[in-house]
Amino acid sequence: MDKKIPIKAVIFDMDGTLLDTEKLSDEAMLHALFGLSKSNVNADEELLLPWELKKKILGLRGSEWAPMVLNYYKENQSISKSWLRKVGDISPDTLWQLWEARLSELCRNVETCPGAVEIVAALSDQNIPIAIATSSQLQAVNQKKKKHLHMFEKIDLIVTGDDPAVENGKPAPDIYLLAASRLGVDPAECLVFEDAMSGVISAKTASCNVVAIPDSRMDHDEFIGKADLVIDSLQCIDRIKDSYCFLEA
């Protein structure tokens, strides 16, 4: 077996990696766009974005995904014609604000992703510096973490998408370079966990080691050759330990 790669710090994406927010994010988006909620759709109808759209916007900041979402629905009017609000009635900034507000409400009961609590605790017990690098805004992060303070209190640093020092969002490397710098660790000695291709590209461009945990709807093969390791969930701790050697601070 190849020699294990030494790691001095770990950086997590948050949404879809530590917190299971993706379905809630879709529900918030459809509420912002069309006023849809579980109270006004059929009980068996899932409030999910079309996958062809979702996979393009995963990991992006609101300033990047909002125009993409509006353009998608304007170009696919057959999807939205029977719903309550026409997408032409709102601007990208308004969509972003409405989405953030609705998601904050929904995230009061957000759950952690499988294995998240355990891996954060294990790294903390080993005195490995831990950071989060998320495209979410600080206010949204503060809302999302309320239910899981026992996990977040073990995290040393959170860098958000609206941090003034993050000039360009994922897939640019800015947020991971900033997180590594604030941790005082060379990016090449950082291990990043990401669920989105934009985040994988961001972290790799920053020269970090990257473990991808793709959404179950994604073709995992797309991540091979882009991420250093592709796993099904954070519960795959043995595969992580087989590839990386964590060095105590």
Residues involved in catalysis: 13, 15
Cβ neighbors of 5 (< 8 A, separation 6 or more) are 209, 228, 243, 244, 245
Cβ neighbors of 45 (< 8 A, separation 6 or more) are none
Give the distance, in angstroms, between the CA of residue 232 and the centroid of all CA atoms in the same chain. Answer: 15
Burial class (CB in 10 A: 0-12, 13-18, 19+), 24: buried
Q: What are phi and psi of 103, to 5 degrees?
A: -65, -40
Question: CA-to-CA distance for 40 and 154, rounded, in angstroms?
Answer: 40
Q: Is the dihedral of CA 153, 155, 156, 159 positive or negative?
A: negative
Q: Using alpha carbons only, how large is the chain's radius of gyration in Å?
A: 18
